[in-house]
Amino acid sequence: MLNIHFLILLSTLCITFSSAYQWKNAEIVGGGFIPGIIFSEAEKDLIYARTDIGGLYRMNKSTKRWENLLKWVGVDNWNYGGVDTMCADPIDSNRVYAAVGMYTNDWDQNNGAIISSNDHGDTWSITELPFKVGGNDPGRGMGERIAVDPNDNKILFFGARAGKGLWKSIDYAKTWSQVKSFTNVGKYSPSPEYFPAAIGISFVTFDKYSGNKGSPTPNIYVGVADNSTSTVYVSKDAGVSWTPIPDQPAHYFPHKGKITKDGMLYITYSDGCGPYDGQAGAIYRYNTKTGEWKDISPHQEPYFGYGGLAIDAQNQKNIVVATLNSWWPDAILFRSTDGGDTWSHIWEWDGYPNRKLKYEIDASISPWIEDDTKQIPEPTTKLGWMIESLEIDPFNSDRIMWGTGATIWGSEDLTNWDNGQTFHISVMASGIEETAILDLVSPATGEAHLMSVMYDIGGFMHTDLDTCPKTQFRTPNFSSGNSIDYAENVPNFWVRVGTEPYIAYSWGSGSSWYAGHAPNGVTEGGLVAVGAEGDVLWAPKPYELGVFYGKESFQSSKGIPGGARICSDRVNGKIFYGYLGDTFYRSTDTGATFTKMYTGLPEIETGFAKNIKAVADHEGDVWLAANKGGLFHTEDGGKTFTQINGITIANTIGFGKAADGSDYPALYITGKIGDVNGIFRSDDKGQNWVRINDDKNQYGTINFCITGDPRIYGRVYVCTNGFGIVYGDIDDNAGTPIQGVNTESNEKGNKNNKNNDENNNNTDNSTCWSEILGYSCCHTTCTSVEDDADGSWGIEGNEWCGIPKNCESYMVSDAAKKCTGALGYPCCTYQCSILYTDEDGDWSVENDDWCLIDKSIC
């Protein structure tokens, strides 16, 4: 009964207070795919960018830094971090919309939503959809799939995936209905095994100039990801009926469709849906007045398709398009100043392998993008790849931006291109942090405060969290980094592994690396742990190979299964630990042999999340984050374990500098206490916890890794899946303290420990007899949970209460004393902790909302 009591108590306390933390990103700048960029047509310098896994951004006009508008996305709606399409209202600049959802396959069990804002994205309303949205699916760079009617902005159309067709809203996206007259919902799927759902509709484009302000726009064009039948459709009656455009091109997929004032519809086509493919394609111009199609492709024998399409609102004959994908030697942008009749290439061959560039490029704010291992004709700094987002500022013909698989490039002097002058390109992704982090280590000594490895990029050494590192980990380079560790007693020795079948060593504290030899059969790095004196334990893929130990060469470990989560003791260099299934393993001979130390733990599967960690300066001290099984602790090397009460979910565990007066490091977890998801810290070995993030700073999926900083008390680094490296520091200027959560058995909460001396015996059960025992009488229930010599006991507000003998009569007389609420807020049903007092009474919080404290029960 006590465990139930404290699980409920935690959910009450933890969620009611704001965090006293400041949250930032460790600077990387970019790091992921930018499938969409939008310049507002209604407000100058209002720019949005969408990502496939890391939310939606708005550029700060004064700082020129992007700000993430979806940091509020949390564990329960993690899929909202994938933004499949977006649009800015061309009439009311306050309004912005997006379709969110991560996957349409079985990786994501959640439906998507349309989110809408009328304050530039500061706050959002959510309209849940009855189907999934694929923000990280193939074809995510097509679009935009959602559009606002430029003449009647309460009307929106949205093109869905997976055969769900075309949808319409007539109330600013509050409600939606399917346009059943639009019947070609698209049947093509590029990967039936992994992404069986059809890509569906690729873009929605209104012909603003076909209508009048205040009335629905009559002419609307919709592209469909189909290569077997007509792919572009038109409605001339505001979406009531639809027909395929006659004589349109076949065999290619339409990616972008934009129309100009003179009635020219420009469409980029590729033989793939993107963002990675594309070996052929075309650009067509369709004259909506005459019905004429014209192939205006700048390259008649392309080895690529076409994706990004930008039209200058100041002069609609000025157009820029991008290849999808010219991987070698670089991407190509094409510029036309006559509506596509002629084109200029951004670079040209000048006697192979030399190229003549019409631009200069600057990656100084994100220098890791440069790859000095490239050899001509490949440049060290590329124009990009996966270029689907390409936009010219409608208020400034000189400003252009395009998104790539790693960053946003842009220029402020684009028209120099037209004059034969060099134009200048630079990274314009400051503030965007879209990496997916797999491991973080904050060493106790050395120049670096943080070492990281991540998907799609090898990893980084941060000596200054506010400055982008000069280079990512190289030589050897991993396309993705999985795991990193160092020797606690030899802190200059580091090891990391990634997606390639080898291992990397550093004797320079991570500043330089070399490749080590891998056992035969290794296909991927898996996980690695480094002993306190420099011995290495390696659990690579395939897991059937088992676990290996050694230094420069490896031998098979015995007694531990492949794929186990592993870590080293941070004091004794001979000791390593492992955890898989329900079993905890220990080796005392540098990993040669393992012994089963403990069985019956919550079962855990293979994976990359950091679920097992040992504490520095404490031999045999290990913590296990067992996901939905909770949090476990051993101080004797696994002989015995203690489960920490009240922790519903512990995804990962980390340690940081101890609080003043403590000789034990601060603990950090991501998980769930009671019914509250969050990031939590304990300063007393897990007895009490505080939630240190708040609902505005949740960062989607945060279950891979976490670590404190051993040199800075309170600092914590968190792995996210698409929101980069997030770190938090205690806000010294905060005015509201953080509410603590006690997870130990509280003797005061156990009615069996009440003082049952003779003075407390009270046989008059008709009144509130339990008050002299230290317990209030029940005020809302007459149901007995337990009977003893004192009387009958119930539970209210997570506490024991005494049931009056004449309970029903007592409830009637007591009702006159009960609270009736105020200002539209209800009375508290169990909370008695006063957070605020005014003329209406004492206030607290229940279920994330204010309530008036009921003095008849408190």
**What is the rounded distance in angstroms from the CA atom of residue 28 to the CA atom of residue 48?**
20
Task: Print the domain residue range for 184.
Answer: 36-427
Give residue 774's pLDDT band: very low, low, confident or very high (50, 70, 90). Answer: low
**What is the rounded distance in angstroms from the CA atom of residue 682 to the CA atom of residue 664?**
10
Give residue 797's pLDDT band: very low, low, confident or very high (50, 70, 90). Answer: low
In degrees and rounded to multiples of 5, residue 545 shows phi and psi of: -70, -25
| Domain co-membership, 724 together with 753 | no
17 pLDDT above the threshold of 50: no
| Domain co-membership, 348 together with 490 | no
772 pLDDT above the threshold of 70: no
| Domain co-membership, 483 together with 409 | no
Lowest-pLDDT range, 66-70, 429-433, 482-486, 850-854? 850-854
**What is the rounded distance in angstroms from the CA atom of residue 331 to the CA atom of residue 325?**
7
354 pLDDT above the threshold of 60: yes
At 571-580, the pLDDT tens digits run 999 999 999 9
The pLDDT score that the predictor gives to residue 58 is 99
> What is the pLDDT averaged over residues 410-425?
98
Q: 15 in a domain, yes or no?
A: no
243 pLDDT above the threshold of 50: yes
Name residue 706's beta-bridge partners.
718
Q: How many residues does the chain have?
A: 858
Per-residue tokens: 112? 């998507």
Give residue 839's pLDDT band: very low, low, confident or very high (50, 70, 90). Answer: confident
834 pLDDT above the threshold of 90: no
Give residue 11's pLDDT band: very low, low, confident or very high (50, 70, 90). Answer: very low
DSSP letter for each residue of 335-372? EESSTTSS-EESEEESSTT-EEESEEEE-TTSGGG--T
At 640-699, the pLDDT tens digits run 999 999 999 999 999 999 999 999 999 999 999 988 999 999 999 999 999 999 999 999
CATH number at residue 289: 2.130.10.10
Cβ neighbours of residue 32 under 8 Å, at least 6 residues apart? Answer: 51, 52, 53, 54, 405, 406, 434, 435, 436, 456, 722
**What is the rounded distance in angstroms from the CA atom of residue 86 to the CA atom of residue 126?**
14
b vs e for 56-91, b when ≥16 Cβ sit within 10 Å of the residue's Cβ? bbbbeeeeeebebbbbbbbbebbbbbbbbbbbbbbe
| Domain co-membership, 142 together with 249 | yes
CATH number at residue 790: 3.90.1220.10
> What is the pLDDT averaged over residues 626-644?
98
| Domain co-membership, 844 together with 711 | no
Q: 821 in a domain, yes or no?
A: yes
The pLDDT score that the predictor gives to residue 15 is 32
At 23-44, the pLDDT tens digits run 999 999 999 999 999 999 999 9
CB 832 within 8 A of CB 858: yes
Q: How many domains is the chain partitioned into structurally?
A: 3
Asked which of 427, 461, 489 is the last residue of a domain, the reply is: 427
pLDDT greater at residue 791 or residue 21: 21
What percentage of the chain reaches a pLDDT higher than 70? 88
816 pLDDT above the threshold of 50: no
CB 461 within 8 A of CB 480: no
Q: What is the residue-averaged pLDDT of the chain?
A: 90
| Domain co-membership, 724 together with 755 | no
**What is the rounded distance in angstroms from the CA atom of residue 54 to the CA atom of residue 454?**
14
**What is the rounded distance in angstroms from the CA atom of residue 569 to the CA atom of residue 554?**
19
Q: 443 in a domain, yes or no?
A: no
| Domain co-membership, 373 together with 510 | no
At 256-271, the pLDDT tens digits run 999 999 999 999 999 9
16 pLDDT above the threshold of 50: no
The backbone region for 760, taken as left when phi is positive above 0, alpha when psi lies in -120 to 50, beta otherwise, is: alpha
Q: 24 in a domain, yes or no?
A: no
The pLDDT score that the predictor gives to residue 780 is 66
Per-residue tokens: 240? 């009531």
166 pLDDT above the threshold of 70: yes
| Torsion sign (Cα): 430, 93, 255, 723 | positive
| Domain co-membership, 419 together with 456 | no
> What is the pLDDT averaged over residues 228-249?
97
Give residue 789's pLDDT band: very low, low, confident or very high (50, 70, 90). Answer: confident
- DSSP strand pairing (423-427 vs 408-411): antiparallel
**What is the rounded distance in angstroms from the CA atom of residue 763 to the CA atom of residue 243?**
85
Q: 298 in a domain, yes or no?
A: yes
Q: 378 in a domain, yes or no?
A: yes
Asked which of 682, 701, 732 is the last residue of a domain, the reply is: 732
The pLDDT score that the predictor gives to residue 660 is 96
What percentage of the chain reaches a pLDDT higher than 90? 80
The pLDDT score that the predictor gives to residue 820 is 65
| Domain co-membership, 265 together with 399 | yes
Q: 91 in a domain, yes or no?
A: yes
Give residue 757's pLDDT band: very low, low, confident or very high (50, 70, 90). Answer: very low
User: Please, which contacts does 639-645 make with residues 24 or more away whose CB atoms are closer than 8 Å?
Assistant: 639/597, 639/598, 640/598, 641/584, 641/598, 641/601, 644/686, 644/743, 645/3, 645/6, 645/743, 645/744, 645/745
Alpha carbon 282 to its chain centroid, in Å, reads: 35
Report the alpha-carbon angle 349-354-355, nearest 5.
Answer: 45
DSSP code of residue 135: T
The pLDDT score that the predictor gives to residue 844 is 73
The pLDDT score that the predictor gives to residue 831 is 66
748 pLDDT above the threshold of 50: no
The pLDDT score that the predictor gives to residue 815 is 41
pLDDT greater at residue 734 or residue 606: 606
DSSP letter for each residue of 64-117? --EEES-TT--STTGGGG-EEEEEE-SS-TT-EEEEE-S-SSTT--S--EEEEE
User: How would you class 465 by CB atoms within 10 Å of its CB: exposed for 0-12, middle for 13-18, buried for 19 or more?
Assistant: middle
Which residues have a catalytic role annotated?
52, 456
| Domain co-membership, 564 together with 625 | yes
> What is the pLDDT averaged over residues 173-198?
95
| Domain co-membership, 356 together with 483 | no
531 pLDDT above the threshold of 60: yes
Asked which of 708, 732, 756 is the last residue of a domain, the reply is: 732
The pLDDT score that the predictor gives to residue 410 is 99
> What is the pLDDT averaged over residues 831-836?
63
- To which residue do tokens 């997570």 refer? 798
| Domain co-membership, 411 together with 456 | no
- CA–CA distance from 656 to each of 212, 254, 444 (Å)? 62, 52, 9
* Amino acid, single-letter form, for residue 298: P
Give residue 768's pLDDT band: very low, low, confident or very high (50, 70, 90). Answer: low
636 pLDDT above the threshold of 90: yes
Q: 438 in a domain, yes or no?
A: no
